[in-house]
Amino acid sequence: MIKRTFYFFVALFFILFNYSVSDIKTDFFKRAIFFALFISLFFVFRYFNLKRIIRILTVLSSSLIFTYGIIQKYLLFPIYLNNLDAGISTVSEAMVERVKSGRIFSVFSLPTLYTFVCAILLLAIFHYLINSKKNSIKIFWLILFTTGMFNIILTQSFSGILYLLTGFPLYFFLSGRFNSKFFVPLMMILSVFLFIIIGLRFSEAKNLEPIRLRISNWNQAVRIIKTSPLLGIGLGNYESKISGFTYPGEARSIYSHNFILQITSEIGIFFLIIGILLLFLFRKKLYFQINDENALYITALLIVVLYNLIDIGFYFFPASLIFTLIISQIYRKNDPLPKINIILAVSFILIQLLVFTSSSNRKSGSFHMNFKRFDKAELYFKKSLNFNKYNHKSLMGLATTNYAKGDKKNSDRYLGKVLLLNNFNPYANFLKSKISYSEGKYLTSFYYAGRAKSLNIRNREYKKWFDFLKLNLDKNLGNMSPEKK
């Protein structure tokens, strides 16, 4: 009881302290709730043997995802290219470029995330394949495995093959099935797949673009860490602040593409060390054996770790869920499930559902706004706020749609709410500057233009607007009425 109280107060201390250094409080709570959900799920799942459920999930997930991946490549992508317009935002432009590249991402937002899920499923399928006794079942698993490998090729992702090239040796070693007659041909086949992907993306591979992009994002994260090394900038605040640390010519991303770097930038080195020490102390109370089933889980855990080194990993729902399932089964407990664990898990699930519904409506609103369907966009943004009135992205969407429709008064009203929740949004500051200028508030306009420029130093439009205001500031102030001065 004393130890539980100790862990509780340490966690509470971290939450309150990190909250205090977070400039964007709503993003802090959003991220904190997200992580709390999976921690609570771990303390529920570990009381159950999910062996059969994971097997069923593997069959259903791989069948649906792999089939949809092929449909996406050969049916949906051609339709998208014929009907998809670039819209009016960088989001829709990025979607068009992604479709044009031909790299599938199936039901996920990114090819890298999809590749990670494919690699985990392929490892599980292989495990069930070699443990099957009936030939008919083996054929079924073999078909799924072949389809999954074809999906890996369609993603054109180097990481997918690397996950398997590192995962399979560990699996063979842990499961006690290391046999050179079988192992060597498998590794050779996987190597062939790697060379195929290199061939498909030869121009990028030749210029080391994937590595250069990652290094660029890592450098940006390091710059943030240097600004606040001990305490961090607050959970969830990375996305809103990264534009101010992205130099011209660098890859632009709202993620660091490295979980360790991103979480360190958000919580600081001090709390990262404390978290690692607490996990080490907690680990002593956990015990697992190396057996056939755990060989699968531990190998999958290795893939999760690798994925977190080249992407943000746990920040994505599928990656966090897979990790939670793996850890819960490695450190499974045979005691009765405490009721408090269920209450906490259900509570966080309900809260996360509200956040997810709000985010989903906001994305729908952004989609319609991209294609200038402003009335529909406004409807979805308002729906989003019904589930989470502190969603500053939805408020920003309303400010943008009202500005596009010529309603500057309402746009300014929403911008006031946005900047109250997140004054690090470059476009919000830019729009506020434009509206203030139209109202003759030249000093106010100059202030917000300066913030927009400093928050996104690579945006030429912000710089051009700031330079225009700076050049004409004296003249505009001279023409102002005494009341406005």
pLDDT along the chain (485 residues), means of 10: 64 82 91 94 94 94 93 84 58 63 75 90 93 91 92 82 85 78 71 65 57 86 92 91 84 86 92 81 65 86 92 90 94 90 95 95 90 92 95 95 94 95 94 93 92 89 92 69 51
| Gap between the terminal Cα atoms of the chain | 64
- Number of C-beta neighbours around residue 248 at 10 A: 8
Angle between helices 392-404 and 374-387 (to 10 degrees): 160
Please spell the DSSP secondary structure of 168-186, one letter per residue: HHHHHHHHT---HHHHHHH
The pLDDT value given to residue 204: 56
pLDDT recorded at residue 310: 87
pLDDT for position 193:
66
Looking up tokens 């809103």 gives: 240
The C-alpha atoms of residue 211 and residue 470 are separated, in whole angstroms, by: 40
CA distances from 300 to 12, 296, 310, 328 (A): 31, 6, 16, 13
The per-residue pLDDT for 302 is 92
What pLDDT is stored for residue 33 in this prediction?
Answer: 93
Q: Are 111 and 155 in contact (CB under 8 A)?
A: yes
What is Dmax (Cα atoms) for the chain?
90
Count CA atoms within 13 Å of residue 1 on its CB side: 0
Domain residue extents for the chain? 347-479
Question: What architecture (CATH level 2) is domain 347-479?
Answer: Alpha Horseshoe (1.25)
- Per-residue tokens: 22: 């977070």
The C-alpha torsion from 134 through 136 and 137 to 143, rounded to 10°, is 140
**pTM across the whole model:** 0.85
Instruction: Quote the CA–CA distance of 380 and 375 in Å, as a whole number.
Output: 9
